[in-house]
Structure 1
Amino acid sequence: MPALILSALAMIAIVAVRYVIVSGVFALVTARRLPGLYADRGAQIGREIGWSFAAAAIYGLPAGIVAWGWQAHGWTRIYADVNAMPLWWLPASVLLYLLAHDAWFYWTHRLMHDPRLFRRMHAVHHQSRPPTAWTAMSFHPWESLTGAVVIPTLVFVIPIHVAALGIVLSVMTFMGVTNHMGWEIFPDRLVKGAGGRWLITASHHQRHHVDYRCNYGLYFRFWDRLCGTDKGLGSFADAPRGPGRARRSA
């Protein structure tokens, strides 16, 4: 039991520190790239950090339990020996995890925009108007729960090398932060080119934060295109500003 508790506490700390470092770095990048963009966002950012620390606890707890189960009992399909699976499986497993996570995120995210669930689960995230580099983990606890179970569940189903799992978590963190910064970090040749037609960047997710009923995906535009919810790229000039409750998702 002490080892389990320590593992859970360690994972909570790791998630929280990772959030502070990555969001903090991109907030500094934003301050250099677009001075003053967050100048009037002090109260909002403070609220985002508070919700994000709560989310870190919710994300870290199951991750800590799974990490303990893997190390102490071999419960999961995480492996450390690179030769345990063919080398081609390393990139394939990363892609499979991202595709599975993207599908889960699309459908749970879209469901949370139902008016019956929006106020209870998702309105906290949309109170960030416009989002900032600190918004990525600003979730109500109920929403955090929907995100916290994905990777811990996948490691019981899909084999993955521990380093490949690190790549998945890094992509998840990087995309979560950069898609909310309030400006586009990637060049136009990617965003408006062939890659941008299938990959989600800040310009695509910005449209969601303005229009609400579209662009629900996380990494890829596949589900939005298939389900008719892809409304293209957004304009940062159209971002709603000001304190107060997020508008209804109706």
Structure 2
Amino acid sequence: MFWAVAISALAMSAIVALRYWASSGFFAWVTERRMPGRYGALKPQIRREMGWSLVSALVYGVPAGIVAWGWEERGWTRIYEDIGAYPLWYLPVSLVIYLFLHDTWFYWTHRAMHDPRLFRRMHAVHHASRPPTAWAAMSFHPSEALTGAIVIPVLVFLVPIHIAVLGLVLAIMTLMGVTNHMGWEMFPRRLVHSRLGGWLITASHHQRHHEHYLCNYGLYFRFWDRLCGTDKGLSDKLTEQTG
């Protein structure tokens, strides 16, 4: 059993690493096409981001691999494959539940890591990216990576979710993690400044966090930032670039 679990963990780590290279590499390429030379002076920083991200991929892969093995071999989780196991309306509801709970966990742990004592030990690695690039989405100290790696593995034991919806959660997590760090706003101004955009986190919102640190802690939604008074709006630099 040990070796089966270990192989599953290594396989998931490899998948996370490949997902990182594919997603970050694609958006880095898009950035170069849209803004030639933007990352030109940041090559040493990008190499550091890549190194830390590969360590993070290993950290993320271990709990994911254990859960994947437990689901396939022991039926431990509440992941289901039969589309008829729950009403169809539950599919989008489960998506929102997972995103909201993930966002809640991220907000509070992220905010805690800006305490000076934890910042130096855990979060300084991520903020060493000045400015962040598309390669920085997983550039974490291992202790910070662990706080992010356990969220979805814990939720699949608690909240039922169809395997396809789980895949969508992971895709959204990857997409927003990368695009919110690439240093420019890919979404049009009419969305970013719309009523809907006022509740969603895009690069313009997260960039302000990297500029001012003690604000804009959320991952997907601005709900907790607004409720707790930590929402300081959008980066002036990035909103000027929206279409």
**Short-chain TM bin:** over 0.9
2:130 paired residue number: 129
State the alpha-carbon separation in 2 of the partners of residues 40 and 24 from structure 1.
17
1:241 paired residue number: none
Q: Is the 8 A contact 1:132 1:180 kept in 2?
A: yes
| Cα drift, residue 236 of structure 1 | 3.0
> Kindly tell me: are residues 195 and 157 of structure 1, through their superposed partners in 2, closer, same or farther at Cα, counting changes over 3 Å?
same
1:111 paired residue number: 112
| Cα drift, residue 98 of structure 1 | 0.1
1:230 paired residue number: 231
State the alpha-carbon separation in 1 of the partners of residues 237 and 4 from structure 2.
47
1:70 paired residue number: 71
Q: Which runs of 4+ in 1 moved over 3 A?
A: none
1:187 paired residue number: 188
Matches within 5 A, 1:127-206: 127-206=128-207
Q: Is the 8 A contact 2:25 2:134 kept in 1?
A: yes
| Cα drift, residue 194 of structure 1 | 1.1
Q: Is the 8 A contact 2:215 2:232 kept in 1?
A: yes
1:130 partner SS: coil
| Cα drift, residue 235 of structure 1 | 2.6
| Cα drift, residue 9 of structure 1 | 1.1
**What residue identity is the alignment partner of 2:205?**
H
Query: Deviation digits for residues 62-107 of structure 1, max 9, x if unmatched?
Result: 0000000000000000001111111111111011000000000000
1:40 partner SS: helix
Unaligned residue ranges in structure 2 (runs of 5+):
none
**What residue identity is the alignment partner of 1:185?**
M
**What residue identity is the alignment partner of 1:213?**
L
State the alpha-carbon separation in 2 of the partners of residues 24 and 144 from structure 1.
20
Matches within 5 A, 1:76-115: 76-115=77-116
State the alpha-carbon separation in 2 of the partners of residues 9 and 142 from structure 1.
19
Query: Deviation digits for residues 170-192 of structure 1, max 9, x if unmatched?
Result: 00000000000000000000101
Unaligned residue ranges in structure 1 (runs of 5+):
239-250
2:40 partner SS: coil
**What residue identity is the alignment partner of 2:111?**
R
Q: Is the 8 A contact 1:175 1:201 kept in 2?
A: yes
State the alpha-carbon separation in 2 of the partners of residues 26 and 135 from structure 1.
11
| Cα drift, residue 204 of structure 1 | 0.3
Query: Deviation digits for residues 24-54 of structure 1, max 9, x if unmatched?
Result: 0000000000001001010000000000000
**What residue identity is the alignment partner of 1:210?**
E
Q: Is the 8 A contact 1:78 1:155 kept in 2?
A: yes
| Cα drift, residue 157 of structure 1 | 0.2
Percent of pairs identical after alignment? 70
CA RMSD of superposed structures (Å): 1.0
State yes or no: 1:56 paired with 2:62.
no
* TM-score of the superposed pair, with normalisation by structure 1: 0.94
Q: Is the 8 A contact 2:103 2:219 kept in 1?
A: yes
State yes or no: 1:46 paired with 2:53.
no
1:87 partner SS: coil
State the alpha-carbon separation in 2 of the partners of residues 234 and 80 from structure 1.
42
State yes or no: 1:31 paired with 2:32.
yes
